[in-house]
Amino acid sequence: MHSLPEGGLPKFIWLSAAFSVFNTVQCMLQPLGMTRRIYSQQPQQVTPLSSHLFAAWTALSAILRYKCAFNMGNEVLFDITFWSYVIADRDDTFTNPMGALRVCIFFFGTNDATNETWHQHTPLDAYGDNLRYFASLLQSPSSEHYSPDTKIMFITPPPVGDRMVEANARVGNTPAVFTNESARKYADMVKTVAGEATIGT
């Protein structure tokens, strides 16, 4: 039985997969039930066909995210999973028939905080600029996604167990690309940007 890797991101992805399974089941068993209540402002758009199509999409997402949660080192699988969130975000978040988005949560930084030799590393200043850009999508009046009533929450990268990372690196004969000190710097950057944008961490 495999166990989840350390860190908050694998747990978040696993939890997302679990919710996708629940959504798949309810869409298949009650295609006009909960789904119609969720999209209550435009219930006429919810049909048995659209609900079953949504079930197929969420089932695929569940499988993909479950596999990714246990295989975070697989770059191809991780990238495909990331884009599954982007596609879902484009479909549901900014064009949600329920109306304005109430809360938007951003959880980035775990891979960005790797050391400079690692391919997923993002320089600290560039990471901060990326966070500011994400916030501006909802806070800037010139943005097509402007949503002044949406609450934004940035979650800081989780702390890293240095000894565990080093032990895993020795076993796998790979470089130790994470350190707790680096994770702290990126977490501090999240707090800095959150203070500038008056948002939550």
Q: What is the pLDDT along the chain (201 residues), one digit of tens a residue?
A: 467 777 778 888 888 888 888 878 877 777 666 665 655 555 666 677 777 777 787 888 888 888 888 888 788 888 888 877 777 655 443 444 434 567 788 888 888 888 887 788 899 999 999 999 988 888 888 888 888 888 888 888 887 777 776 777 677 666 667 788 888 899 999 999 988 865 544
Give pTM, 2 decimals. Answer: 0.51
Query: Can you give the pLDDT at residue 189?
Result: 93
53 vs 67: CA distance, rounded Å: 22
End-to-end CA distance of the chain: 34
Query: Can you give the pLDDT at residue 31?
Result: 62
In degrees, rounded to 5, the angle at the alpha carbon of residue 119 between the alpha carbons of residues 117 and 126 is 90
Beta strands in the chain (DSSP E): 103-106, 151-154
Please tell me whether residue 153 adopts helix, strand or coil conformation.
strand
In degrees, rounded to 5, the angle at the alpha carbon of residue 133 between the alpha carbons of residues 135 and 178 is 95
CA 91 to chain centre: 15
